[in-house]
Structure 1
Amino acid sequence: MSKTVEFFFDLGSPATYLAYTQLPQICQQTDSQLIYVPMLLGGVFKATGNASPATIAAKGRYMFQDLDRYAKRYGVPLKFNPHFPINTLMLMRAVTGMQLRRPERFEAFIDCLFRALWVEGRSLGDPATVAAVLSEHGFDPAEILALTADEDVKAALKNNTERAVQRGVFGAPSMFVGDQLFFGQDRLDFVVEALS
């Protein structure tokens, strides 16, 4: 298996959640490897001068209607999170920490957080809610909190974010097949073509 998809992601993006629901199946069908690369979308926005489409009222309304259309097409649940947007710094440090320190539980970890945000509409900007979600899924909130303070974890997330920007990433989700960048969950058909 020499083909890979590098998936640069931040939990706080609903479009990223939709891509996340589709990429494992795409990689299975194309005999490709999915490489998860957590990054901080706020850091990418700051470095590139970009901003969430939700900051423009008309564009934000359209974006959520369009994402809902795609969710129906994919046959996956999607609920607009009333707490959007949220600061994902601690969440993405936790994700990075799990990838580095507990890789065997990494996919279950991001799955429970994506679902909490984009299916259950929970407030993951609230530490008590995060702790509750983690406990419900068999994770130790104290262990996860410790990961977010780990200097190696912080450095890894920062490095991932800087590397994303250097490679031309300006938003999420961003996927690379080789050196080709594909931005947005609505570009997955091009990812499939690049892998085929």
Structure 2
Amino acid sequence: MSKTIDFYYDFISPASYFALVRLKEICTRTGTTINYKPMLLGGVFKAQGNTAPVTVPAKWEWIKIDFARTAEYYGIPYTLNPHFIFSTVNAMRGALWAISENRIEEYNQAMYQAAWAEGKDLSSADVLIDTLNKAGFDADTVMQAITRPEIKQALITSTQEAAARGVFGAPTMFVGDEIYFGQDRLDWVERALTDQINA
């Protein structure tokens, strides 16, 4: 039986970027397929009464150091985005379009590369168009798709479903019904996937 892991994410989260890079390696080792679950992190925060780490100055200062440390340790290209906090609504709507087109892997790569390796502002339509074109997408097609009511509603619905499942931040992963939160819990994710192999 094929194994899958549900991966809840938003491009606003550098921790999700780090997690995805490592999760792909884990999935290769364990024969697991990633089931991508785009959501709006701000909507999840609101639904759960949570707040962004940036709102706690001492925590944010530590997180900035920890992100840089994590990127260096794992050899992941990273820069603290000077436009943070930027809107990801259109980029996340585009992720839902990419899923429907079976192009989500390359789409995620393009968006995370732009946001957290190149420090670009994904809230800018011009940046989004440039990023899409450089990644081999037809930007006109994507930009038209994300204006469609069904795509807009799909992102609202996916965010609501994430919160209803108990998601309170990003990245969040589910192996079966077990929830794992944070890019620093991937060892536990791999253990759960390996246990499935040995079961």
Q: TM-score range by the shorter chain?
A: over 0.9
Q: 3-state DSSP class of the match of 2:31?
A: coil
CA deviation after TM superposition for structure 1 residue 24, in Å = 1.1
**Aligned positions, number:** 194
In structure 2, the residue matched to 1:50 is 50
* CA distance in 2 between partners of 1:137 and 1:91 (Å): 14
Matching residue of 2:28: 28
TM-superposition CA deviations, 1:143-163 (whole Å, max 9, x none): 111111122222222221111
TM-score by length of 1: 0.95
Q: Match for residue 169 of structure 1?
A: 167
Q: Which residue of 1 aligns with 2:18?
A: 18
Amino acid at match of 1:52: A
Measure the CA separation in 2 of the matches of 1:2 and 1:141: 34
Residue 127 (structure 1) aligns with: 125
Question: For the residues of structure 2 that align with 1:73 and 1:190, how far apart are their CA atoms?
Answer: 19
The separation in 2 between residues aligned to 1:58 and 1:144, in whole angstroms, is 39
Q: Match of 2:72?
A: 72
Shift of 1:3: 2.3
Q: TM-score, normalised by structure 2?
A: 0.93
Could you tell me which runs of 5 or more consecutive residues in structure 2 were left unpaired when the two chains were aligned: 195-199
Question: Could you tell me how far apart the structure 1 residues matched to 2:178 and 2:58 are?
Answer: 30
Runs of 4+ in 1 over 2 A off after TM superposition: none
Equivalent position of 2:112 in the other structure: 114
Q: Give the root-mean-square deviation of aligned CA atoms.
A: 1.2
Deviations 1:111-147 (A, max 9, x none): 1110000000011111111111212222222211111
C-alpha separation in 2, matches of 1:27 and 1:139: 26
Q: Return the offset for 1:186.
A: 0.6
Hey, what does 2:197 align to over in structure 1? none
d(CA) in 1 for partners of 2:168, 2:93: 20
Q: Tell me what 2:148 maps to.
A: 150
Query: Alpha-carbon deviation of 1:30?
Result: 1.2
Offset at residue 86 of structure 1 (A)? 0.9
Per-residue CA deviation, residues 25-66 of structure 1 (Å, 9 max, x unaligned), is: 101111212111111111101111112101111111111111
Question: Which stretches in structure 1 are left out of the alignment for 5+ residues?
Answer: none
Q: Is the 8 A contact 1:98 1:147 kept in 2?
A: no
